[in-house]
Structure 1
Amino acid sequence: MGTPGQLIVKRYRLVRALGQGGMGMVWEGHDTLLDRPVAAKEVLFPPGIGSRQRLDMIHRTSREARTAAKLNHRTIVGVFDVAEDDGQPWIIMELVPSRSLDRVIAGEGPLSVARAAAIASEVLTALSVAHAADVVHRDVKPANILIGYDGRVVLSDFGIATSLGDPRAQFSGTVGSPGFLAPERADGAPATPAGDLWSLGATLFAMVMCRPPFDGDMGPLAKLLTQDAELAKAPEELRPVLTGLLAKDPAKRMGAEEAKRLLDAITSPAPPASPPERTGRARLLTVVIAAAVLAGAVGGWAVLRPDAAATAHPVTPGTPGTAAPLVTPSASPSPAADRLRLKWHEGDGWRAGVPRGWRLVTKDDTFTWSEPEGTAYLSLSVLDLDGRDPMALLRETETALSSEVRDYHRVRLEKVRGRKDLTAEWESTWTGPGYHSWAVKGVAYHETQRLIVTGTRASVITWTTTRSEWRHLASTRKAVFAYYRPPQPPA
């Protein structure tokens, strides 16, 4: 077995063991040639294995690497190299700073419906990429799904993956994990994409129920008899997709396209209806005030219209003391405008415009949206002040964050002038990891936290980007803050 500091094929240095699975030990490593972190998978041989079987395992490892290397997608762990060092096979892979989904479930308990559906949708994307390349995974389960600290969801461990075009591959047997193994696979049928979809359904069930849908030792008849009763325990919103994916007959099982549609409908509900339009003088006053506020808050950046055709258009600031001119639609919006589109989200009395396409995760009444590439995050929560001083709250949060991150620097911590409500902002830069679960080690971040007090409640809006994206996304940040509507105190 490998040891920390060991150099593999004079190139990959082992740093620390990350975990052991059925197919071997995974190490955090460092590629000394390209100066980058990697994951090194050490294939462990069973005790007492003969030389012929050992050679077969080495050949199988090479096939595994070739199979996985065919798959190039953000939702699949990338394979960089396969190596043999002193008779020991190694697979060199992308290192994804993350926690496995089974550990997330064990630590946090049942996931919210929206978060579970979002994770399942990403895994389904990975499976669709694999199946399009004639590869089946054969062991989809929470332990093989990584939740990156940057919000990325990645399917890992194609260690028992089967290439449908490889005549040497084993098409039968019960390789897989009890509780997440499709019924036909348990009966010895060949591995197929439909079997992966069943395992995904079982994984989705486990995310919200903290256990697989059926006992791994349960026979096919017992599973069939208990299926309706088990699925009835799952959240109502997930029952259609769970029923489709967990169909016992592979021929009647829901396909990937339909499952994707149902999952995405859960994670991206239709935007709420716009409030009724005001008429007469009240409407005119509202429009003028809104234009003035947007001009002051956004300046020369783009003004975003979350519910309209939703393209961004330039604003020319008015002369001091006057409202800026109203914005009119442009016939040909720029590509920069497209990335600034917002979508309405509503909660307990609040309304927020969030960049379209960002993924939402909710936990403990905190809403967190992440940019798909993990370069920006927006979180929102509404707290009861209980008589506490808002500025003191920000300072307490600053103390907590600064003690857990590296290279912390306060840019400013101050009250925002010119607002009717009490608003304060705290801006800082720091280097991960720490504090935020998605913060990646060694990545520099720039963050602003705005606290808006209305009555006895405070809205806390946190906008974070990688330092390189801060200026690039400045107009989006300003528009998100400008469009936020906090819950109003009781009349």
Structure 2
Amino acid sequence: MGTPGQLVVKRYRLMRALGQGGMGMVWEGHDTLLDRPVAIKEVLIPDTLTSRQRLSMIQSTAREARMAARLNHRNIVSVFDVADEDGRPWIIMELVPSRSLDRVIAGEGTLSVTRAATIATEVLTALSVAHAAGIVHRDVKPANILIGYDGRVVLSDFGIATSTSPGDPRAPRGGATGSPGFLAPERAGGTPAGPASDLWSLGATLFATVVGKPPFEGTRGALSTLLTQDAELAKAPEELRAVLAGLLATDPARRMGPTEAKRLLDALVSPAAGAAPVRRAGRRGRVLAVVAAATAAAVAIGGWAVLRPADPANAGPVGAPTPAAPTTAAAPSPSLTPAAAPVRLKLKWYDNGRGWKAGVPRGWRLSIQEDYYTWSEPEGIAHLGLEVIPTLGRKPADLLAEVEASLSRSVRKYHRVRLGKVPSRRGAVVAEWESTWTGPGYHSWAVRGVAYRELQRMIVTGDRISVIDWSVTASQWERLRPTMESVFKYYRPPGTNG
């Protein structure tokens, strides 16, 4: 297995492990030739294989990676290169800053109909591009769908994809490669994978996005699936039942095709003028989110401590800009109306045990994706993001400008309020970017048609940059401004005392 710092084929440096799946380990890496970040899949070959089986697996993996490299679309992770190191293939891919859809559901609960349909539409587009090229994905599921921090939806892991060309020796000969719960009934019976089986898996993914689990869980075979279909569909929101019934048809010959599925999904993504977007936050969704947040908090190192007026944090952290004077004292009730008085919510310390410490609003839900921490206000009107990244010689203002150039294209009505360095204490380098925009896009939680205001701050301490992201619905910006100022004031960057 690879190690951090290792140089693959004298070009691709392994930075840190991102996760391990059935095909191997995925690393965040750096292309030293082109000076760009990449994702690197290290293919792990079981020791139990014979030398012939080992050679066959290496050849098929490299072949499938080359097939995936033929796909060039914004909804598909790009494959850049296949490197041979130590007799094993290493697949070099586009690095997409993102959360997988299953992590989004675990952290936030089930999604609204509009948001789920938007994601499904983009995955359907990715599948249509792949199928037109003669490639079947074979493992469509929430874990393989990435929701980019810039709003991009990407289908990943074509590592077990296979050709569908007639007579192609690479075509599958049966078996049920894929993930239980998202595997089409005919494939469970040994029928080779085809475009229709990918569409069934898309339907199962859409169902899980709004219900919280895949359909027909615990059923066995096509007959039991058919007998339970009506009962399963009744669990889904009414607006989605037509497209789900078509995609989840047991008989592949009768299954809904991509054209009709896109028409039904588009109607949900772009409702008639004047219709309000549907946002479902049922009890199941809230329970899932609370459980996920509680689990994340329980495993975190350090834990919580209430910030009190006499807390030393009132002195402000090293590198933090001098905070503006508070607008007002805490309001007795956190009204959500635009006319509500400004409020400074109560904060708690969060210490992740890795050198930084933050004061975050009490009662907000925590979700953790690798090293990116997000706290969400229970009603979804505000979000606080925090991560620490290496500087690698980069200037925070330049980084913010790069982020702006990329992310501003994914939202509507983008407007820059300001971007540049700001005054800071003790000579630390601090830059801020403030903007307004309208969803969807940008963040996975953004709601279509809702206006947001966002402030992102970068603080350089030593060889690390702390990135603090504060996003609020535009109507609530002034009301929650005192809370934002407190969060920024109390943050303790790595390498500082406190």
Name the structure 2 match of 1:318: none
Contact 2:219 2:225 in 1 (8 A): no
- Provide Cα deviations, 1:82-110, integer angstroms capped at 9, x if missing partner: 01101121000000001111111111111
Instruction: Name the CA shift for 1:84/1:197 in 2 (closer, same or farther; >3 Å).
Output: same
Letter matched to residue 29 of structure 2: G
What is the alpha-carbon distance in structure 2 between the residues aligned to residue 400 and residue 244 of structure 1? 36
Structure with higher RCO (Cα < 8 A, 6+ apart): 2
Percent identity of paired positions between Structure 1 and Structure 2: 68
Name the structure 1 match of 2:53: 53
Structure 1 unaligned segments of length 5 or more: list them. 273-344, 348-359, 365-381, 409-424, 432-442, 451-458, 467-480, 482-491
Name the structure 1 match of 2:177: 175
What is the alpha-carbon distance in structure 2 between the residues aligned to residue 388 and residue 426 of structure 1? 26
Instruction: Name the CA shift for 1:392/1:50 in 2 (closer, same or farther; >3 Å).
Output: closer
Q: Report how far residue 188 of structure 1 moved.
A: 0.7
Query: Aligned runs of 1:95-244 on 2, under 5 Å?
Result: 95-165=95-165, 166-215=168-217, 218-244=220-246
Q: Report how far residue 387 of structure 1 moved.
A: 5.4
Name the structure 2 match of 1:415: none
What is the alpha-carbon distance in structure 2 between the residues aligned to residue 176 and residue 430 of structure 1? 48
Tell me which of 429, 432, 450 is aligned to 2:419. 429
- Provide Cα deviations, 1:110-159, integer angstroms capped at 9, x if missing partner: 11111110000000000000000011111111111111111100000011
Contact 2:113 2:280 in 1 (8 A): no
Letter matched to residue 6 of structure 1: Q
Q: Secondary structure at the match of 1:29?
A: strand
Letter matched to residue 73 of structure 2: H
Letter matched to residue 174 of structure 2: S
Q: Report how far residue 215 of structure 1 moved.
A: 2.0
Instruction: Name the CA shift for 1:139/1:448 in 2 (closer, same or farther; >3 Å).
Output: closer
Q: Report how far residue 346 of structure 1 moved.
A: 5.3
Contact 1:162 1:171 in 2 (8 A): no
Matched, 1:447 2:435: yes
Name the structure 2 match of 1:30: 30
Q: Report how far residue 265 of structure 1 moved.
A: 0.4
Letter matched to residue 225 of structure 1: L
Letter matched to residue 12 of structure 1: Y
Q: Report how far residue 219 of structure 1 moved.
A: 2.5
Q: Report how far residue 362 of structure 1 moved.
A: 8.9
What is the alpha-carbon distance in structure 2 between the residues aligned to residue 178 and residue 90 of structure 1? 27
What is the alpha-carbon distance in structure 2 between the residues aligned to residue 267 and residue 91 of structure 1? 35
Contact 1:427 1:449 in 2 (8 A): no
Q: Report how far residue 67 of structure 1 moved.
A: 1.0
What is the alpha-carbon distance in structure 2 between the residues aligned to residue 111 and residue 96 of structure 1? 22
Q: Secondary structure at the match of 1:384?
A: coil
What is the alpha-carbon distance in structure 2 between the residues aligned to residue 402 and residue 230 of structure 1? 36
Instruction: Name the CA shift for 1:13/1:462 in 2 (closer, same or farther; >3 Å).
Output: same
- Provide Cα deviations, 1:142-200, integer angstroms capped at 9, x if missing partner: 11111111110000001110111232332311111111111111111111100000000
Name the structure 2 match of 1:389: 342
Q: Report how far residue 391 of structure 1 moved.
A: 11
Letter matched to residue 153 of structure 1: V
Instruction: Name the CA shift for 1:362/1:27 in 2 (closer, same or farther; >3 Å).
Output: farther
TM-score, normalization by structure 1: 0.61
Indicate the RMSD between aligned Cα atoms, in angstroms: 3.8
- Provide Cα deviations, 1:300-340, integer angstroms capped at 9, x if missing partner: xxxxxxxxxxxxxxxxxxxxxxxxxxxxxxxxxxxxxxxxx
Contact 2:162 2:170 in 1 (8 A): no
What is the alpha-carbon distance in structure 2 between the residues aligned to residue 427 and residue 402 of structure 1? 20
Instruction: Name the CA shift for 1:392/1:237 in 2 (closer, same or farther; >3 Å).
Output: closer
Letter matched to residue 173 of structure 2: F
Query: Aligned runs of 1:275-314 on 2, under 5 Å?
Result: none
Contact 1:114 1:362 in 2 (8 A): no
Letter matched to residue 115 of structure 1: R
What is the alpha-carbon distance in structure 2 between the residues aligned to residue 403 and residue 45 of structure 1? 36
What is the alpha-carbon distance in structure 2 between the residues aligned to residue 244 and residue 465 of structure 1? 43
Structure 2 unaligned segments of length 5 or more: list them. 283-334, 347-359, 362-381, 389-395, 399-414, 422-430, 439-448, 457-473, 475-498
Letter matched to residue 435 of structure 2: E
Letter matched to residue 207 of structure 1: T
What is the alpha-carbon distance in structure 1 between the residues aligned to residue 343 and residue 180 of structure 2? 51
Q: Report how far residue 463 of structure 1 moved.
A: 5.0
Letter matched to residue 51 of structure 2: S
- Provide Cα deviations, 1:349-379, integer angstroms capped at 9, x if missing partner: xxxxxxxxxxx99989xxxxxxxxxxxxxxx
Contact 1:428 1:448 in 2 (8 A): no
Name the structure 2 match of 1:302: none
Q: Report how far residue 211 of structure 1 moved.
A: 0.4
What is the alpha-carbon distance in structure 1 between the residues aligned to residue 384 and residue 106 of structure 2? 25
Q: Report how far residue 247 of structure 1 moved.
A: 0.4
Letter matched to residue 220 of structure 1: A
What is the alpha-carbon distance in structure 1 between the residues aligned to residue 83 and residue 2 of structure 2? 14
Q: Report how far residue 460 of structure 1 moved.
A: 9.1
Contact 1:430 1:446 in 2 (8 A): no
Letter matched to residue 143 of structure 2: A
Q: Report how far residue 224 of structure 1 moved.
A: 1.1
